[in-house]
Amino acid sequence: MKKDEGRLVADYIAGDDSAVAILIDLNLKTIFNFAHRLTGNSEDAEDVAQETFLKMWRNLKKYRRGENFKAWLFTIARNTAIDLMRKRKSLAFSIFENDEGGNELTESLIDIEPLPDEIFAKAEEKGWLKNTLDKLSPKHQEVLILHYNENFTFDEIGGILGKSLNTAKSRHRRAVIL
């Protein structure tokens, strides 16, 4: 029998530690998939998912009953993924910066054209869709992922992103046009 997520939170607060395991089981796959789409690889997605559920557990007593639990959890996952990407980005490129502020790595990149195997992969529908999505900015990607993959409403997406309903709609519209 599947319990309501809000009820599981209440059970945990009342002392039922097994409720957390059920919450994790119910949401692990979707959180991992969402994190994978944001980070682009399984290892980072695993780290984000693990950290998300740790933060969920630490903050369950702060969860407001009646609030959409899934949206609350996705907000934690999104913020965790952003923190990880910022951390990785600064570590990956900062070591190549010279005294003048230039970046030797990015300045020495030669060919930005896709390789033949990348062009072939684009012809496949899934590969093409992924490439197209990857060309969008992260703020546009996350709106499309949350709306089409996770079936959140624009109002819920606005809450997850910490933006207004109109901002969520606008980002969706721009992402579709791009």
* Neighbour-count burial for 119-157, b at 16+ CB within 10 Å, e otherwise: eeeeeeeeeeeeeeeeebeeebbbbbbbbeebebebebb
CB count in 10 Å sphere of residue 111:
6
Q: What is the mean pLDDT of the chain?
A: 82
So what's the pLDDT on residue 67? 86
Confidence of residue 3 (pLDDT cuts 50, 70, 90): low
Nearest to 23 by CA among 35, 12, 36, 34: 12
So what's the pLDDT on residue 155? 93
Among 28, 61, 95, where does a domain finish? Answer: 95
So what's the pLDDT on residue 148? 85
Domain extent at residue 170:
115-178
Question: pLDDT tens for residues 57-108?
Answer: 999 988 888 889 999 999 999 999 989 988 876 544 555 566 666 655 555 5
So what's the pLDDT on residue 175? 87
Residues 148 and 88 in one domain: no
Residues 125 and 167 in one domain: yes
So what's the pLDDT on residue 107? 55
Q: CA-based Rg of the chain, rounded to a whole angstrom?
A: 19
Residues 77 and 1 in one domain: yes
CB count in 10 Å sphere of residue 102:
11
Confidence of residue 21 (pLDDT cuts 50, 70, 90): very high
Q: Is the distance from CB of 159 to CB of 75 less than 8 angstroms?
A: yes
Count of structural domains within the chain: 2
Confidence of residue 1 (pLDDT cuts 50, 70, 90): very low
Query: What whole-number percentage of the chain has pLDDT above 70?
Result: 76
So what's the pLDDT on residue 114? 58
DSSP string, 89-140: HHHHHHTTB-TTS-BHHHHT----SPPHHHHHHHHSHHHHHHHHHHHS-HHH
Residues 5 and 62 in one domain: yes
Residues 4 and 86 in one domain: yes
So what's the pLDDT on residue 57? 93
Confidence of residue 123 (pLDDT cuts 50, 70, 90): low
